[in-house]
Chains A and B, each alone.
Chain A
């Protein structure tokens, strides 16, 4: 029995392929001998980039041979070694291949793993083969129906509870043509199931069964006015009614649209779970019965895309436009089997083809592309067809763009490259043997790909918007694949790219109006674009594309139609959730421009068009250069970006007030929360930073010019977040009202050999220099006030002195001196090596590297206009989770910067909120245990540099398996050790907490999968850390800063001082957290190890209590004690005194 089943199922495929073999034989001689064009050259270049490696293959094999020879000379171990040797040879071969045919070794292995993961378990689908065969027998046994007029046909089918899925417009009741069912001329399994290119995914895959309708049921004129589609619908309904009448056939049946095409319903058969003969639910698939026709039913010239097939106007004077969509739908019905043959042939001639199809499909899916109209009209079928076409031609002078010898990865990349670098709308891809039978213009800006002789544009379901998006995604991925330094496998294949929240700079959800109100659509629009959603979104796209101009680099409109309905009801007019998403990528340079310049007033026609487009917003203006032109002026608004104003206005003007009112802006509440934050939302923040920088310049000149000191000041470097656009609060003038943050600067003196050889003496000399500088400044300008300060006790090898300088303008700076010898002296500090190294790290962090980072980050903020606001928002988040003392400012800045430098698979954010969201997203899913973060600010790291950093990381991890020294590893060009700002803080515990908090925040932010919650109180939650997570919480009073009148005793962050003392006193026993912005609480978590009972010893490192009350024997040396939590908290309370309002001990 089992054997028979197998033979049956294989015969199923055989019979399909036998036909295909015939076709192939006919075409055998037609094989082209064209050469492979530039795209294969491209790959040679790729290999060159790998440096020595490309020149290696030959030498490799030689040496492998010599290795083999050497080993075979050793006679004793031959048998055992042989195996090893052959394995070695295999490995060598694999490496060889990987380097030649793939990006790199590891990339090849990753692809292999991915493909293995995508493989469908064929055992599970075997049963389906049998069902398909049975289905064929059943369908072929359906008897012909008589020819019926519409009312009779409807009545007959309604008796068996079936409604005919007529597309709109439905046939008139008095239609004179007759409906008939005739035995199919052909029955075939097509597409992915036949080719076995489907991939394993949570969604069930469809098995397409094409039933070709016989010629005799059609009339020559049936191509006109939907008649073909009406007859097709009847044919389908008739099959449905027959299947339904079969007692032993148990399918769960429904209608659905074929790829979202409203003209072409199909029958969807799902398995029922009854364990019976037709139960195939384990195969995770469904069957689609698709009515098709063979190519001889209608004369192909009549349905060429340039012909009109719908007489939408009765006015004989009006020339009727071509109906390319309508025509292509009919053409596509003739192309199911021929199309499958094309793919099959390509797969046979090119080994990597099927896998490349799978890679393409996964790539497309992660980006939200599918063959259906709502999926952008570009899915794995189109991808495969494009590859098949490119194997035939597509290159310059008809040469092939892909070579049959390409690996799956090469096929994948070359195809992407082709998409990215060719505009199919401008130059249609035509690999058929005859020239294009229609003008590309009939598709109105849609891409054109033809690889057949019937003039079927394979991309007719795409929209302008989806095509632009496809090219955008393709070029992004090509850039990723070209980047030899990083492994972008994840973002190319594994990460879901299609995300309204994270992908776009501006995103919103807009409700569709009712199509019933849209007369244009009902009268004419649907002739060209039958789906109302597709019709409407493409209009929105046009308007916004025009209106936003160069502000937007990509506008994406997406909707989804579920496209299924029961057999009992007629086809609904629209099948979606009634809303579409609008995602816009902005050009950071142009997006916030206030004025739109239109045509000159003299140009009457254009000016009129401009006025009509912009309506009341358009006005005639005279500009500085004397020109008088039409223009639109927008007002800056704290809560509404210019782009969102434009979008709202244009939608209102062109589609009515109701639509504009009902726009949901994604992340709107979050943006508003930021906008309301006085510190963050201040629009003039950038200018405040600039003012501080200008003042710094003055200070620099002042210091450089000092000439009455033994050594001259050689440079003055900024070293503070306030001097790199990165402090949460923009720098303000010095005030005695609140704690002022002085902007740190580092002074470098000219080199001298006269510094003392003793570090303490060096520190004292530096203090003396600061005093000298203060004196000189007083001489230059008495209006500048200065004050020296001490950071720590004077008996120290570290810097203890600084100089506060208050400029007359009110801006205040804190200067410290860096000497050239300190660094090496600290590194070689022999008295206490650990202390020396710790001090050296502090020196780098606070002096040289702080200065370097400040200058670099300034540059980055100019390169990415939205980096500064994004980083300040991210810092706000860190602070509100009490992480201020644990996470260095620079670390936050670098992580946020990485979002801009390495935005893959997206583009650098052009909006502060997007930057913030993406950073959270990154933090939530960054596996810092396994992945180092490497930043290359000026693209100057070489492959070996990156490798060296990775090696550092690897050895760091190998030496510290518990992450006790370093949790996060962040390297940048100027701090390649990767730990400057991440060790010892944030510790493993804190790093895990960051991950946890970021995940929780991301969860809070989304409601559903697409949209950021707009509920303000919900948004507020991402800035609240639950206090119950902690062991104890010290609530602080608002400190009354005693009025201090000058720079001598400015208001001070006493809590910070208290906090530092606590950290020193309870060193290591407790993890203390606080929000330096709010200063409302200090939260603590005890080191869990101290809570366990321990053996007593004198210096245990924390306050203890006996763990039993029993009076123990004096000789009992194993007496146990454990941490005296309450006493330690009380100690904290006693030290804090009036700073504290209350303490909660929670655990």
Chain B
């Protein structure tokens, strides 16, 4: 099953305590290319806290210590007529916990590119992922106390992609060049080479710490919520008033051809809605309706439709019985309890 050289993986032992990875030059083998994308295998280590605390339980098996290979698909980003694109790499199939810092570290490892050479990393919204957000975003909250502001690492839906924009074409080409050939050992997906540093970094926060932080974020103080709501509402009202004013102006202003568009007022809807009115009208109409059994042909028609209805039901019933029979339903002694 593994697409990777198994022997090589076995050589690679503990990842959490692995020695500092020097930027490795590419081996001689060219990289696998799929639909124009360079395939970059990376090691996905187990979370730091787990490997750190339970180094003695290696034999537990499971997934803990086994190196797991994840695959990134990278190519040059090209959009006709866009200058910046020429120094942008498109990276697909990111791990769910990818951050800008992860990307910095990755390129520094594979191509020795300094973080300063990367201008921006933009994570793209996945068209297949849901937009359902469980965590109130920091940007939508106002008036938070100092103690309430805590960073929560952003998690991407599976199979997300990013644009990595380099400061210049040279840096990008260097990165791209390093992708052409396979690495001796796949780079490790992490923020930092030192375990301690990684644990402290808020961006790496996982597990209970993460969920504690989310829990706290969701239970903000009344004061902060008040500020948030007030600021939203005043902005909303301002926008509303502006919209109303525009609409009013539009109503009184003749357009280019000198016509005034007649539009509905912005007044509140009255007690009765339009649908109520429709219903009432329909009712009225029904009451006034013609006599249904006045003419002979009406009676005949009525009978005919009823008759047909009956026959239709009969046919349906027959159909149902046939189905039930096919399911061997009418066997009284093959019952479930018998």
Contact = CB atoms under 8 A, between A and B. Distances in A.
Contacts of A1065: 96, 129, 155-158
A1128 B158 contact: yes
A1130 B68 contact: yes
B143 to A, nearest CB: 12
A927 to B, nearest CB: 8
Contact of B33 (A761, A1040, A1113): A1113
A365 B332 CA distance: 10
A758 B95 contact: no
B44 A1138 contact: no
B200 to A, nearest CB: 14
A1111 B304 contact: no
B337 A499 contact: yes
Contacts of B114: none
A59 B308 CA distance: 12
Interface string A768-803: 100100100000000000011111111110001100
A114 B330 CA distance: 5
A1126 B68 contact: yes
For chain B, the bracket of interface size reads: 35 or more
A768 B68 contact: no
Contacts of B135: 792-793
A959 interface: no
B69 A790 contact: no
A201 B68 CA distance: 61
Contact of A1039 (B156, B158, B208, B331): B208
A777 to B, nearest CB: 12
Given A1102-B159, A1130-B63, A113 B311 contact: no
Interface string A1003-1028: 00000010000000000000000000
B34 A1096 contact: yes
A494 B93 CA distance: 56
A94 B314 contact: yes
A591 B293 CA distance: 59
Given A794-B136, A801-B225, A1105-B71, A494 B63 contact: no
A202 B159 CA distance: 59
B225 A767 contact: yes
Contacts of A794: 136-137, 140-141, 228, 232
A787 B240 CA distance: 31
Interface string B51-95: 001000000101110101111010000000000000000001101
Contact of B321 (A110, A1124, A1139, A1142): A110
A236 B237 CA distance: 105
B330 A117 contact: yes
A1042 interface: yes
B235 to A, nearest CB: 10
Contacts of B253: none
A889 to B, nearest CB: 20
Interface in B282-338: 300, 303-304, 306-307, 310-311, 313-314, 317-318, 320-321, 323-325, 327, 329-333, 335-338
A787 B225 CA distance: 11
Given A796-B133, A1134-B44, A788 B157 contact: no
B184 interface: no
A1101 B159 contact: yes
B254 interface: no
Contacts of B34: 1096, 1106, 1112, 1116, 1119, 1121
Contacts of A414: none
A1137 B47 contact: yes
Nearest to A767: B229
Given A117-B332, A1102-B158, A1136 B303 contact: no
Nearest to B4: A1109
Interface in B261-290: 268-269
A1039 B212 CA distance: 11
A1135 B155 contact: yes
Given A109-B317, A1108-B3, A494 B39 contact: no
Interface string B202-246: 000011111110111111101001101110110010001000000
B330 to A, nearest CB: 5
A300 B319 CA distance: 58
For chain A, the bracket of interface size reads: 35 or more
A589 B17 CA distance: 69
Given A113-B325, A756-B236, A1098-B92, A1057 B134 contact: yes
A494 B317 contact: no
A1101 B128 contact: yes
Nearest to B329: A494
A26 interface: no
B32 A1111 contact: yes
A550 interface: no
Contacts of B338: 202, 496
A632 B161 CA distance: 78
A771 B229 contact: yes
A774 B220 CA distance: 14
A1143 B50 CA distance: 12
B244 to A, nearest CB: 11
Contacts of A35: none
Contacts of A1102: 158-159
Contacts of A1145: 62-63
A1064 B128 CA distance: 11
Interface in A1035-1083: 1039-1040, 1042, 1048-1049, 1052, 1054, 1057-1058, 1060-1061, 1064-1067, 1069
Nearest to B46: A1133
B130 interface: yes
Nearest to B97: A1134
Contact of B225 (A771, A1097, A1142): A771
B332 A1105 contact: no
Contacts of B37: 1096
A790 B220 contact: yes
B31 interface: yes
A781 B179 CA distance: 67
A479 B272 CA distance: 46
Contact of A924 (B69, B209, B336): B336
B30 A1111 contact: yes
Contact of A789 (B218, B268, B303, B337): B218
B132 interface: yes
A855 interface: no
Contacts of B39: 1106
Contacts of B325: 113
A957 B39 CA distance: 44
A1042 B209 CA distance: 11
17 contacts: A66-B303, A113-B325, A114-B330, A760-B232, A789-B218, A791-B218, A921-B336, A1066-B157, A1098-B73, A1101-B159, A1106-B3, A1106-B32, A1109-B4, A1127-B44, A1127-B68, A1133-B46, A1143-B63
A-B pairs with the 5 shortest C-beta distances?
Answer: A1137-B207, A1137-B206, A496-B337, A793-B133, A1054-B211
Given A94-B314, A768-B233, A1064-B130, 14 more contacts: A95-B311, A118-B332, A494-B330, A764-B232, A1060-B134, A1106-B3, A1106-B32, A1111-B31, A1124-B70, A1127-B71, A1128-B158, A1130-B68, A1131-B44, A1134-B46
Interface of B: 3-4, 29-37, 39, 44, 46-47, 49-50, 53, 60, 62-64, 66, 68-71, 73, 92-93, 95-97, 126-137, 140-141, 155-159, 161, 206-212, 214-220, 222, 225-226, 228-230, 232-233, 236, 240, 268-269, 300, 303-304, 306-307, 310-311, 313-314, 317-318, 320-321, 323-325, 327, 329-333, 335-338
Interface of A: 52, 56, 59-60, 62-64, 66-67, 88, 91-92, 94-95, 105-106, 109-110, 113-114, 116-118, 201-202, 362, 365-366, 490, 493-496, 499, 502, 753-754, 756, 758, 760-761, 764-765, 767-768, 771, 774, 787-796, 800-801, 835, 921, 924-925, 930, 1009, 1039-1040, 1042, 1048-1049, 1052, 1054, 1057-1058, 1060-1061, 1064-1067, 1069, 1096-1114, 1116-1117, 1119, 1121, 1124, 1126-1131, 1133-1140, 1142-1145
